[in-house]
Chain A
Amino acid sequence: MKKQRELFQADMVKSIQEQLKNTDANISIDEAALVAQAKAGNMDSVERLILKYQQRVYNTILKMCGNNDDAAELTQDTFVRVIQNIKNFKGQSSFYTWLFRIAVNLTLNFCKKNSRVSFQPLQSEPDEELKHQLKDYLIDKTTPQPPQIAATKELHGLILKALEKLDADQRAVIVLRDIEQMNYTEIAETLDIEIGTVKSRIARGRKNLREILEAAIQ
């Protein structure tokens, strides 16, 4: 029994490695065909779907819950649930929005259960230079492009901190739009809300986020 399992795992690893070698080819495979094969119980197709979306799902969840470990666990739960229920997927919406709907719902439920999202604390407070550059860019509008340090961990932490202070619904919309780059229709489909609601939530969310960030760099 143990040997069988080890053999099975070895085969799986091999197949994944082979697939990773042919990543470009994998991505080009039609998503609908992959989903159909996964429905039929094809594990290769399942793995391809996981590989295709894991990073995007993980990033969306991370920006919503703010914790790496929780995000990893929730991403795993999302894919397990998706594969377990893939036979119930009827194709009324796209697989992409269906997947993200499950991910967002799981994350929102998790956030509600934990009442307050525990964002990982910043390693250190943003230094004065970062604050100054951000102020120049956002308030004084003297810098035409985002500061060079925008890609640093500090800025990333600052934005996460600001997102933490938004309420869950606004946070979900902002993350799906600005991080996941979904269009409004996809957001409405994923969250199962009207497009008008998406528009108003985005406007309010961005306004709140702007106020939070301005307060942080003052």
Chain B
Amino acid sequence: MAAGVSERTRSERKLGWMLCAPAVIAMVLVTAYPIAYAIILSLQELDLRFPEEGGFAGLSNYEAVLTSELWWQDFFNTTFIMVVSVAIELALGMIIALVMYRAIFGRGVIRTSVLIPYGIVTVVAAFSWFYAFDPEVGWINDLPFIADDKAWFGEQFSSFAAIITAEVWKTTPFMALLLLAGLVTIDEGLYEAAKVDGASAWQRFWKITVPLMKPAILVALLFRTLDAFRVFDTIFIMTRGAQDTESVSILGYNQLIGRLNLGLGSAVSVLIFVCVFVIAFLFIRGFGVRIQEGRPGT
């Protein structure tokens, strides 16, 4: 750029900053400031039930969390729910996207129906599936091949099945729409050329669709993975963490709001923040997600 910044450029800059200021201030005030505050809280012994005690505690809160069995159990639960639900969502979302793309008729009907889970409050979806899985009230046990008296919420992995079902139902539409957006950018001529060369539908999917959709798939995966790691609503409604189904977010909530232990709870919060950061970093560096192509959704 030339040495002097013209008057016009300068006023454009000023206008740009002024217009962005309210949004930037709101975002910094409610995220950057609290996370800094959370770090400070996490270094203190601060239990609101015993406000007189306490003071600087160094890393002892982190030590307490990281050496507790509960944190690692919850970390495993969260990761398990995240991996399984995102994998199912990707497969189902891809099928729905392909069906929407190749629609012979009724494309509008599908679009309408997949938007319904998106629009529904997560808590409502969780209640609906919770009652569906209930042995007395629900309909799942009326299905063939399922025992009439199966107590889904009586045991860890069947509880996970119910939780994952609700999560998958609620968020697959978003995945499908993102994948469809990637699908429509593929040049139709490539498929025609491959067909002429004798490629089967299966080959066309793996050799053309998947490689060309890779950026869209990775962005959708990144956002859904981070979202799934934060799983809270569904578990809170279905089990409140009973039968060893607690997620790290539930643990944080229980410490902060349930026990008013701001020091320990903040250490959990900061650790969750670090996990999310690591996941995002792995996606961006490891898989080469081009982040500028991403966008927030849920």
Q: Do A and B share a complex?
A: no
Residues of A within 8 A of B (CB): none
Residues of B within 8 A of A (CB): none
